Amino acid sequence: MPLTVFNEDIKLEDLSGVRQLVRLEEIDSTQSVARELALEGNSECTLVLAARQTCGKGRMGRVWQSQSGGVYMTLILKPAIGLKYLPDLSVLGGEVVSSTLRELYGFKTRIKLPNDVYVFHPRKKKWLKIAGILTESASVAKTPNWILLGIGLNLNNKVPLDCAVSARELLGSEMSPADFLKAFFVNFWARYSSWEYSSRAKTSRA
């Protein structure tokens, strides 16, 4: 049985900046759960984690393969910015996933705009998809009321597609979801705070 976000000891206090953790063994999509929480209000910085998704979502309605062992999560955010800056968040999420993979595992990574992370497979000599980013938002008066930042990462799961790869396949052993999440959120909030601040400054000058 692969190591997952459900059977590994993941503590809220180890996830920098996360105020509430909702961890589920199986769900249709972390996006759908996070959307319900966002609509209820008082859910900023809530993280929804799932060990498996039965109906994982990708960009433009595509299905994201979500077998046990991957990292499937949605973070609820409420930045005080203009709607025109929202596309930058998807890229930012991909960049943070990319930099965290390099930091932890030494992968050679690149971003395929607008929302995919690729790693170089040294044996196959080609770039393969390892993660995808999905954002969703609701707005009031041209300001986001909430934003869902969804991330799917192939960590320890089997990947049935020839165009994708997991960290386990590249490294030959299972990786700790907790270690990835801890490093990811340290990196994420530094980038997110800078993005939110610069976006506010641009909005005030407009």
CB 152 within 8 A of CB 131: yes
Q: Which residue matches tokens 């909005």? A: 203
Please, which pLDDT band fits residue 60 given cuts at 50, 70 and 90? very low
Side chain identity, residue 150: G
Residue 203: pLDDT over 60: no
CB 101 within 8 A of CB 119: yes
Taking CA atoms, 131 is separated from 148, 160, 197, in Å, by 16, 14, 27
Domains of the chain: 12-199 (3.30.930.10)
Residue 129: pLDDT over 50: yes
Residue 176: pLDDT over 90: yes
User: Which has the closest alpha carbon to 37: 143, 136, 177, 180?
Assistant: 136
Q: How large is the C-alpha radius of gyration of the chain? A: 16
The four Cα atoms 37, 42, 46, 52 give a dihedral, to 10 degrees, of -10
User: Which has the closest alpha carbon to 54: 33, 75, 85, 81?
Assistant: 33
Please give the pLDDT value at position 86.
Answer: 81
Count of Cβ atoms closer than 10 Å to residue 126 Cβ: 12
CB 157 within 8 A of CB 69: yes
Mean pLDDT of the region 38-59:
83
Mean pLDDT of the region 23-46:
91
Taking CA atoms, 158 is separated from 116, 170, 172, in Å, by 18, 12, 12
Strands 20-27 and 46-53: parallel
The least confident of 61-75, 78-92, 98-112 is 61-75
pTM above 0.85, yes or no: yes
Please give the pLDDT value at position 167.
Answer: 97
Please give the pLDDT value at position 132.
Answer: 94
